[in-house]
Amino acid sequence: MATRISRKTTVKRKTTKKNKSNFKVNLVLISILLIGFIFGIYHYRNAILYYFSFKSEKSLKDDKVSQARIYQILKAHKDLTFGFDVSQFQGKINWNEVDSVDHKFPLQFVFIRATAGNNKKDIRFDENWAAAKNHHFIRGAYHYYRPNENSLEQAANFIRSVRLQKGDLPPVLDVEKFPKNQSIDSLKLGLQRWLKKVDEHYKVRPIIYTSEKYYNDFLKEDFPEYAFWVANYNFFVENIKNDWLFWQFTEKAKLNGIEERVDVNIYNGTPKMLQYLTISN
153, 176, 217, 251: which is the annotated catalytic residue?
A: 176
pTM equals: 0.81
Where are the domains positioned within the chain? 63-277
What phi, psi does 216 have (nearest 5°)?
-70, -40
State the distance between the two ends of the chain, measured CA to CA, in whole angstroms.
123
What confidence tens digit (pLDDT) does each residue in 193-226 have? 999 999 999 999 999 999 999 999 999 999 999 9
The predicted structure's pLDDT at residue 183 = 92
Mark whether 99 is an active-site residue. no
85, 122, 168, 263: which is the annotated catalytic residue?
A: 85
Query: What 3 state SS string does 59-121 have?
Result: HHCCCHHHHHHHHHHHHHCCCCEEEEEECHHHCCCCCCCCCEECCCEECCEEEEEEEECCCEE
What phi, psi does 253 have (nearest 5°)?
-75, 150
What confidence tens digit (pLDDT) does each residue in 6-50 have? 555 555 555 566 666 666 667 767 777 776 556 555 555 555 554
Mark whether 176 is an active-site residue. yes
The predicted structure's pLDDT at residue 1 = 46
The predicted structure's pLDDT at residue 21 = 65
CA distance 242 to 246: 10
Q: Which residues of 131-159 are buried (b: 16+ CB within 10 A; e: fewer)?
A: bbeebebbbbbbbbbbbebebeebbbbbb
| Domain 63-277, CATH homologous superfamily name and number | Glycosidases (3.20.20.80)
